[in-house]
Amino acid sequence: MSAAISTLFRAKARYTIATSTTSHITSSRSSHFASRPCFRASTFSPKRGPQVSRYITTSTKGAGNGSNATWAKYILALSATAGASWYLYTQQGTLRLDSGKTFTHLHPLAPDDEVSLANAQAIKSLETLDLPEESAILTTAPNVPPPITRDHPVLLNVDLTTTAKLEQLTNQYKYEKWTFNDTVPGPFIRARVGDVVNLKITNHDESGMPHNIDCHAFLGPGGGAPLTTVGQGETKSARFKLQKPGLYVYHCAVGPVGVHIGNGMYGLMYVQPEKELPAVDKEYYVMQSEFYHEPPEKDENGQVKDTVEFSWSHALREAADVVVFNGKEGALTKTPLKANLNETVRIFFGNGGPNLTSSFHVIGSNFDKVYRDSDVLSPPGQCVQTVSVPPGGSTIVDMNMVIPGTYTLVDHAIFRLEKGASGYLMVSGEPTPHLYHSNQAPMPCEGCKLHP
């Protein structure tokens, strides 16, 4: 209120000064023009005379009545303004809804400590939320945790460890992979929109390399990476509310990011929508990625080693030496995916990269439903043959298996087949000659990687 009154008095002062100045200027101009013959009233034209006279006149005719009227108008304006100011002041921070309800918050000029206190009271930290607690079921590829059937959010505990381990990469070479929970790709994490993930990450990498998590499902700086960076032997915890449903890639984001991803540090998190996708008979987890390695070195006896190491130059040129599903050559050919005739198979497919876009295709089948880019809120695409999945992206595809046999998963950038990008889905059941038939026996080509 005091601010409003102060403003009005400043306005009055400006009004008084302006009136005084105008009177002074008018008097001066009157004297000036009156002293010049050309501005005598007798020389004025009928049109210009009255106009100039109004401009230079200093007559006080009716001054008393005009002065009283001016003050009355001023006092009336002052009263109206003061009343309006007081009303607006009392309404500061009030929000009125169409329903008639009102909500009041702090005055915008309130001290910062009052605002902070109010926010602290109104917004509970994720540390103080009172939610039921669950431990996430983590599975290694190609397995997927069972669907979540609850209809409420929980505090979901997810424990991850980072390690380095030497294991087979191709049929010929071994490679030291950097992993989450000793697997490449990392474990499949299933949650529900609205859940709060309580992520605990522990670094067991004995090389001293720090690691962290950038999860595309976590909204906030770095996807959680700044809160989860751990050095050797260190453990950290952080909480993240899952606000958007979908299938999201997670990966290590310690620099150089490409090296950590290129060595195997990636996985998928599926955030179920409130209304889950239609149920299917089988669900599988498949992730494509590529590896870059130097040529094998020779040992002290001149024999070629069976171990290869990461190649920075190959990665920069995006010249992949190995392109595989689920972390190694033969992961899905030596241990194929399986289904029965007339079952519906769902594949949660992700691309860890770090560089190449995948053209995911299943030879001999179409995708009856495609949730492109893992958009689980929009209607799915139907009858799609090949799906493009960029590095750091994912898709969900459903297939109805109506003919028995072996189906081959490929990246349809087809020369990548020679670098390891293939897998099998074997469908068991009785023949269906009304759909697929020949009088001659099938004859796959010798050494064929597509039709075993």
Fold category of 133-428 in CATH: Immunoglobulin-like (2.60.40)
Strand-pair category, 393-400 with 386-389 = unpaired
Query: What are the residues facing 350 on neighbouring strands?
Result: 287, 394
Give the integer Cα–Cα distance in Å for 190 and 269: 6
Residue 128 binned pLDDT confidence (cut-offs 50, 70, 90): confident
Q: Which residues are annotated as a binding site for Cu cation?
A: 211, 216, 251-252, 260, 265, 412
Closest CA to 253 of 212, 290, 219, 203: 212
pLDDT in tens, 273-308: 999 999 999 999 999 999 999 999 999 999 999 999
Residue 349 binned pLDDT confidence (cut-offs 50, 70, 90): very high
Domains in the chain: boundaries: 2-90, 133-428
Query: 132: which residues sit within 8 A by CB, 6+ positions away?
Result: 152, 154, 155
Closest CA to 318 of 352, 343, 290, 346: 290
Does position 47 have pLDDT exceeding 60, yes or no? no
What are phi and psi for residue 59, nearest 5 degrees? Answer: -65, 140
Q: Record the pTM.
A: 0.74
pLDDT top residue among 20 and 211: 211
Give the integer Cα–Cα distance in Å for 373 and 365: 20
Does position 211 have pLDDT exceeding 70, yes or no? yes
Q: Which residues are annotated as a binding site?
A: 211, 216, 251-252, 260, 265, 412
Q: What percent of the chain has pLDDT over 90?
A: 68
pLDDT in tens, 70-83: 666 667 766 776 66
